[in-house]
Amino acid sequence: MKKSYYSKVSEILISKEEINEGISKASKWIDNEYKDVNEPVLLIGILKGCIPFLGQLTTKLEIDVELEFMIVSSFKGTQSAIGMPEIIKDIDSDVKGKHILLVEDIIDSGYTIKYVIDKIKERQPASIKIITFLSKDGNRKVDLEPNYTCFSIPDKFIIGFGLDYKEKYRNYEFVGVLKKEFLD
């Protein structure tokens, strides 16, 4: 591990080894959840934070999948959601009649993923489920629970394994708490 990683975080919440174990368990859940589906499941990754999670997850799956991506923003470089979410890049596929699994890096208030679900439901998929790498359960502001959560975490500002602050720190191989002196 790079020494500079340690200088930016006050605490490591989830180690590289714990991440690998969590993703293995998540892939088994997905395989079991969709074992009777006779067509590829459409995984929709919510960019950018989902990339490490989705990348490792797909390599462990036994079911057939298709991949799509959306960019949905509500943070705009800040530490918390501001205003209504906005779809910056929509999916290209027709989802009517398909089984959809939304892949999130983190669910905090729930506003963003709820917005995405509502937009996807308008397109009449066969089903919609949510898997998230991280969840701040105590911060939920909408009535929504993911179908699967790899890790529940406390209300701290975290970085690493796809999670950023102003587009930095996504490449850390663990999830850690960003030191306050690095927050503007």
Which tokens belong to 183? 């927050």
| Distances from the Cα of 52 to the Cα of 91, 145, 148, angstroms | 19, 22, 17
pLDDT grade for 159, boundaries at 50, 70 and 90? very high
pLDDT tens digits, 48-102: 999 999 999 999 999 999 999 999 986 554 445 556 788 999 999 999 999 999 9
pLDDT (0 to 100) of residue 7? 87
Q: pTM of this prediction?
A: 0.91
pLDDT (0 to 100) of residue 86? 86
Candidates 3.90.226.10, 3.40.50.2020, 3.30.70.980, 3.90.420.10; correct CATH number of 15-155?
A: 3.40.50.2020
Could you tell me how many helices (H) and strands (E) the chain has, helices first? 4, 9
- Residue-wise burial string across 90-126, b where 16 or more C-beta atoms lie within 10 A, e elsewhere: ebeeebeebbbbbbbbbbbbbbbbbbbbeebeeeebe
What rounded mean pLDDT belongs to the chain? Answer: 92
Could you list the active site residues?
Answer: 108
The neighbour count for residue 174, using CB atoms within 10 Å, is: 19
